[in-house]
Amino acid sequence: MKNVNKYLAIGFSALLLAGCANAASEESHTHDHDVAHTEGATEVSNLERRAVLATEGGNLVTLNLITGEVVKETELKGFLRLNDAGDSRHVLVTNGDKFQVFDSGLDAQKHDDHYHYFESEPTLTDISYKAPKAGHVVVHDGKTALFADGDGSFTVIPTDDIAKKDAKTTRFETGAGHHGVAVPLKNDELFVTKGTEEDRHTIQVRKGDEVLAETTDCPGSHGETAAKPNESGEVVVMGCTNGPVIYKDGAFHKVPVADEYSRSGNLAGTDSSPIVLGDYKVDKEADLERPTRVALIDTVSGTLSTVELGSSYWFRSLGRGPADEALVLTYDGNLNVIDQNTGEVTNKVPVIGEWQEKDDWQEAGPVFKVVGDWGYITDAVNKELVVVDLTSYEVTKRFKLDKPVVEMAVTTGKKQ
């Protein structure tokens, strides 16, 4: 859902198997195709960013974000979800019971104090990672975690090796299938959800067989993101239906909220800000709530405030700007710019036409992504991709598309 992390350890004890986790295993997967090379690539003076678009009905379209040229269209069927692999080159295509690696064709290779840049044809590689009901992807601390909702397992891979045929993978179990997420932390620690298909409310931070911290007060846990670390270490926020929880200083801290039902299931944080942006829903009985308020969660004070936007939004609407401003794309077609410290809406930038979330979240709707100083927004109604300069908040380009877009990932070839 849009527009905002991104969101156990080696060996789980037999005790936790009864209600939690099994032993982890390490293995090296051998794939048929190693894409971590530049064979057939052309060296260029600079890399032009590309968007990988999953279009309505299937197919992947790779678009040059400078010229608007379609670099390549790759034929696929079905509803395809896209996730950044974390290395600025590859995209993970969630396709049924696997995550498949897509090479966007942009490659920056460091040589002493400079880089060499290469472009090649985008390719859906033969490299994939099995995951029953493949779900969330989280990139953190140089690792990429792939969660399988079908059995509650997840796989952790070094991010820089995600497209290597001999990448070492470590698999973990959480005890039961559920719509979950795992976040790799420093020192081999893992932030992970636990639950079943019917219920989930527990989050743990684990290392080896040891549970370092746990909370059971996070019903409907969904939507993780990392915030700015503090002096004690990493800070992670998870959305719940009774207000979010913050992991910091080695413990979980519940954020008090004014509403009995208070769901923030989609979060957007940054490593440079202690403030997290989230959605804010209060109607437990709604099949499709259309909120007009967003949440700002202060991980230092452990408090939550709301901002009224006057127009609704959806799960693909949230983002953060280069100055850590909170950004929200609303139904009126505006990109709302919010001062993260005061909650003031400082700008409303008209970017696309009016729209409304459809009853089925898998139908095409606007997708908002931020990479560096640039915002990229797809307009499903007018079949456009809009480029916004987030330093001036001006629309700089509009590219026509042949089909509405359901998912988007942006690659630069070089880590930001």
Q: Is residue 222 part of a domain?
A: yes
* Tokens coding 257: 């909220």
Q: Is residue 364 part of a domain?
A: yes
Determine how many CB atoms are found less than 10 A away from the CB of residue 210: 10
Q: Which helix (H) or strand (E) holds 17?
A: helix 14-19
In this model, does residue 35 exceed pLDDT 50?
no
* Tokens coding 53: 């678009």
Average pLDDT, whole number, for the chain?
Answer: 90
11 pLDDT band, cuts 50/70/90, is: very low
Q: Is residue 3 part of a domain?
A: no
Q: 345 exposed, middle or buried (CB, 10 Å; 0-12, 13-18, 19+)?
A: middle
In this model, does residue 414 exceed pLDDT 90?
no
Mean per-residue pLDDT for 227-232?
Answer: 97
Query: Tell me, what's the pLDDT at 234?
Result: 97
361 pLDDT band, cuts 50/70/90, is: confident
pLDDT in tens, 126-140: 999 999 999 999 999
Query: Tell me, what's the pLDDT at 12?
Result: 34
Q: Is residue 416 part of a domain?
A: no
Query: Tell me, what's the pLDDT at 23?
Result: 35
Q: Is residue 326 part of a domain?
A: yes
Q: 343 exposed, middle or buried (CB, 10 Å; 0-12, 13-18, 19+)?
A: middle
416 pLDDT band, cuts 50/70/90, is: low
Query: Tell me, what's the pLDDT at 96?
Result: 87
pLDDT in tens, 76-99: 988 899 999 999 999 999 988 999
Cβ 213 vs Cβ 183: under 8 Å: no
Query: Tell me, what's the pLDDT at 95?
Result: 82
Q: Is residue 5 part of a domain?
A: no
Q: Which amino acid is at 149?
A: D
pLDDT in tens, 189-211: 999 999 999 999 999 999 988 99
* Domains of the chain: total: 1
Question: For 159, which DSSP code?
Answer: G
Query: Tell me, what's the pLDDT at 29?
Result: 43
Q: Is residue 323 part of a domain?
A: yes
Query: The domain that contains 341 carries what CATH number?
Result: 2.130.10.10
Chain center to CA of 184: 14
Name, in order, each residue with C-beta under 8 angstroms of 261's C-beta and a sequence gap of 6 or more: 241, 242, 281, 282, 283, 284
**Rounded Cα–Cα distance for residues 207 and 236 (Å):** 16
Cβ 316 vs Cβ 332: under 8 Å: no
Question: For 24, which DSSP code?
Answer: -
Mean per-residue pLDDT for 10-29?
Answer: 37
Q: What is the extent of the structural domain holding 71?
A: 14-411
Q: Is residue 4 part of a domain?
A: no
**Rounded Cα–Cα distance for residues 192 and 236 (Å):** 11
**Rounded Cα–Cα distance for residues 97 and 78 (Å):** 13
Mean per-residue pLDDT for 322-329?
Answer: 98
Q: Which residues of 231-254 are buried (b: 16+ CB within 10 A; e: fewer)?
A: eeebbbbbbbbbbbbbbbeeebee
